Chains A and B, each alone.
Chain A
Amino acid sequence: MSALELITLVNQALFVGLFLVVLAHAVRRPSRATVDTALLFGSIAAAVAVSVGATAVGLSDAAPRTPIVLLLFNLAPYAMIRLVDDFSGTPRFMLHLGAVAYVVIAALGFAFTVQRELVQLAIIAWFLAVGGYAAFAFAWESRRTRGITRRRMRAVATGAVAFITAVVLLFLNGMFSMDGVILDIAAQLTALTAVVAFFVGFAPPEWVRRAWREPDLRRFLEQSTRLVSVADETAAMAELQRAAAAAAGADGASIGVADPRRGVLAYISRDGERVEYPDDQFIAGRAFQEQRRIVAIDATALDPANAARYEQSRARTVIAAPITRGDRRIGVLAVYADRAPIFVEDDLWLIELLADHTSILLEARDLARQTGLLEAREEAARLKEEFLSAAAHDLRTPLTVVLGQAELLERRTARNPAAPVDAAGVSRLTKEARRLRDLISEMLDAQRLEQGVTMDRRTTDLRSIVTTVLERHAEEMSAVAVHLPDEVLSATVDGPRMQQVIENLLDNARKYSPDTATEIRLWREGDEARIAVVDRGVGVPDAERERIFERFYRASNARDITDTGMGLGLYICRRIVEEHGGLIWAEPTPGGGTTFVVALAGSTPPASLPEQAEPAHWAPAGDGTEAVADA
């Protein structure tokens, strides 16, 4: 057997083998694409079979063998344009033209068995034109697709080009009777390339698919694993959809996350918006309801009620697979394409793999979120624990004094009824009993403010609020330097609440900065009224300047100075100021200490008051742009 005969034999065997594979596929999953694939290789295999069979029974190279072989063989280009139509669309007239041309060619084969050159030229033209068009269409369409589909399309395009080249070489050789062997070998080698490329494209062996998918899957796994820690739910889901689409080689993917209580599936639209649909709507909803994968090569036919939507979102082909973890129905994964990529059904296991991995990812995200919630709950419990312990401590100290002094009074009287009353002891008792009352009301206050209270707000001159506080605590606050504007500076406030804010701030200054100069200032800053309490004590560490306004939080250095205090004073201040729509913050006092500033929306000053009539201001520390120079 010569080398030429060997290659020819191998080629024939491969084409027949390929036909059997795609035929089996078409029988298992009949669809236009699989049937057309079987038609393509069936025509070639049949031509081979007739040719070989005729030789075997000793028929010479003459009628009726040749016309029958050609009749079958010439069907191949027509099958190719049908395949092109299956996955990317071919104008109707091309298909009709192809059919007519095929009939003409077939007729020529029978009519002119004598004038072989004419027939052969026509066949070359037929293969070049129609087969070339198909090869080009496959190559062109492969640019639009991704991943494994793209690789398979390219293999098909390569096979088509090689096949046509081989056919043209064979016929040219026959026509011009050139040095037959060399051309024949070239033709058979090209045909071998074609059949291998077709095999890879139409029926890739498992190991080839695996090798092709590896990079896409790896990328998907890497991308999706990163998404576990992405806090933004919408962004994470959008990213996951993109990754799944890329890995599946589809135009796009949708992941619907089920909310079983409300019976909806939540998707992220292509514009990055969260959208919800009833969990039985669309093909994805059906896959979720029936807990099985659904392949809709033509979604508009399977779900006509939503046909317009599929058309509009260019999702004519949809494959949906439920996302399930054990017994839990988590959601659904749907990949879609404008046209059915002809190989999409082979990729079902890939879609299921993606759905599986997505379920793991969603569960991981869920766990991460629950862990976060748990941590927050633990933090809240810890704060409550701290509060109770601080509250218990704070209540016990005055209670010790009250109890002790009462017992002392009792004992002294018992021993000597005529003894004079221990005035100092009684005043201690009274003072600590008051402190107990204040602590309790502070705790209740914080509790009430937490739940939200309505403020009784009236337009009030803030100067009167400051002076009321100072007068009420004249004894402790005699050392406080007071700077008030000369004119009315009003704001709409709940008077007693605002007094409480100022009291708390002054009390803090006294407690944490004893024996240093404390000031209170009130001024207008643009549209705002501002109150500042300035101390020159130890100051608040930079990192804690915001935290001190949290409930139960006490600055680290405040805990060193005094054991009393529950960390509620500044929290109460913040809540009250915020209820007024204002702001409170702490900033360092130049030269040491802390300045607490309360900013409230001021009532509009009377129009007749010119701006420069404002009194001299104190310039707040820190931001120079805010400073108002003394006049």
Chain B
Amino acid sequence: MPDVRVLIVDDEPDIRATVSAMLEIEGYRVDEAVNGADALRVLEDHAPDLILLDMRMPVLDGWGFARELRQRGHRTPIVVMTAARDAARWASEIAAAEFVAKPFGMDDLIRAVERARPAT
């Protein structure tokens, strides 16, 4: 199993819990954040290898988070995870590596994560 650390950023607790469980069962290590601002704090403590990012969140949304992340010099790949039809467009707006559109199944998620994560 790869030793990959994933940060999940989503304001819906049930989504966070479900995605965490999906990744953990596949052997990933997982951190969670409830919005963009929270994620910026969390990644200072545990630098992730990959970020799973919801776009529409209170306080600091996906766009704001991505901008701030790049400004701070992090090159961590991002997988956009959103319910919107515009998932692909939004992903390209923030130069994300991959995207998964809700509702996604476990296979979709793992495939996107595998493709996006840096080679070890």
Contacts and interface: CB of A to CB of B under 8 A. Distances in A.
A399 B58 CA distance: 21
Contacts of A432: 14
Given A408-B21, A560-B58, A562-B11, A393 B83 contact: yes
Contact of B83 (A400, A405, A422, A562): A400
Contacts of B114: none
A425 B21 contact: yes
A424 B17 contact: yes
A405 B58 contact: no
Interface string B58-95: 10000000000000000000000001110000000000
Contacts of B83: 392-393, 396-397, 400
Interface centre among A389, A396, A400, A562 (most CB of B within 10 A): A400
Q: Pick the most buried of A389, A403, A412: most chain B CB atoms within 10 A of its CB.
A: A403
Contacts of A392: 83, 85
Give the interface SS of chain A, mostly helix, strand, loop or mixed: helix
A563 B11 contact: yes
Contacts of B18: 400-401, 404-405, 408, 425, 428
B14 A401 contact: yes
Interface in A369-405: 389, 392-393, 396-405
Interface in A413-460: 422, 424-425, 428, 431-432
Interface in A564-578: 564
Contacts of B4: none
Nearest to B109: A404
B113 interface: no
A411 interface: yes
A389 B85 contact: yes
A401 B58 contact: no
Interface residues of A, number: 28
Nearest to A398: B14
A607 B33 CA distance: 61
Nearest to B26: A411
A563 B83 CA distance: 10
Interface string A533-567: 00000000000000000000000000011111000
B42 to A, nearest CB: 21
A407 interface: yes
Interface string B9-48: 0011011011101100100000000000000000000000
Contacts of A564: 12
B2 interface: no
Given A392-B83, A400-B83, A408-B25, A561 B58 contact: yes
A428 B14 contact: yes
Contacts of A393: 83-84
B15 to A, nearest CB: 6
Indicate the size class of the contact surface on chain B: 20 to 34
Given A393-B83, A397-B83, A397-B102, A404 B19 contact: yes
Contacts of A428: 14, 17-18
Contact of A399 (B57, B85, B103): B103
A431 B14 contact: yes
A403 B56 CA distance: 21
A428 B85 CA distance: 25
A203 B50 CA distance: 96
Given A405-B18, A432-B14, A396 B103 contact: yes
B11 A401 contact: no
B33 to A, nearest CB: 16
Contacts of B25: 408, 411-412
Given A393-B84, A561-B58, A563-B57, A400 B15 contact: yes
A404 B8 CA distance: 15
B97 to A, nearest CB: 20
Output the residue of A396, A398, A425 with the most chain B CB within 10 A. A396
B39 to A, nearest CB: 16
A392 B83 CA distance: 8
Contacts of B105: 403-404, 407
Contacts of B17: 424-425, 428
Interface string A313-339: 000000000000000000000000000
Contact of A400 (B21, B56, B85, B102): B102
A407 B106 contact: yes
Contact of B56 (A398, A399, A405, A563): A563
A432 B11 CA distance: 15
A397 B106 contact: no
Contacts of A398: 14
A561 B59 CA distance: 8
Nearest to B16: A401
A401 B56 contact: no
A70 B60 CA distance: 108
A392 B19 CA distance: 20
Nearest to B54: A563
Contacts of A411: 25, 106
Contacts of A402: 103
B118 to A, nearest CB: 25
Contacts of B104: 400, 403-404
Contacts of B103: 396-397, 399-400, 402-403
A427 to B, nearest CB: 10
Interface in A282-312: none
B58 A562 contact: yes
A560 B36 CA distance: 13
Contacts of A562: 11, 58
Contacts of A405: 18, 21
A408 B15 contact: no
B119 to A, nearest CB: 26
Nearest to A388: B85
Given A389-B85, A404-B19, A404-B22, A399 B102 contact: yes
Contacts of A561: 58
Nearest to A404: B18
Pairs A-B, 9 closest by C-beta atoms: A399-B103, A396-B83, A404-B18, A400-B103, A396-B102, A400-B102, A407-B106, A393-B83, A401-B14
26 contacts: A392-B85, A393-B83, A396-B83, A396-B102, A396-B103, A397-B83, A399-B102, A399-B103, A400-B15, A400-B83, A400-B103, A400-B104, A401-B15, A401-B18, A403-B104, A404-B18, A404-B104, A404-B109, A408-B22, A411-B25, A425-B18, A425-B21, A428-B17, A563-B56, A563-B57, A564-B12
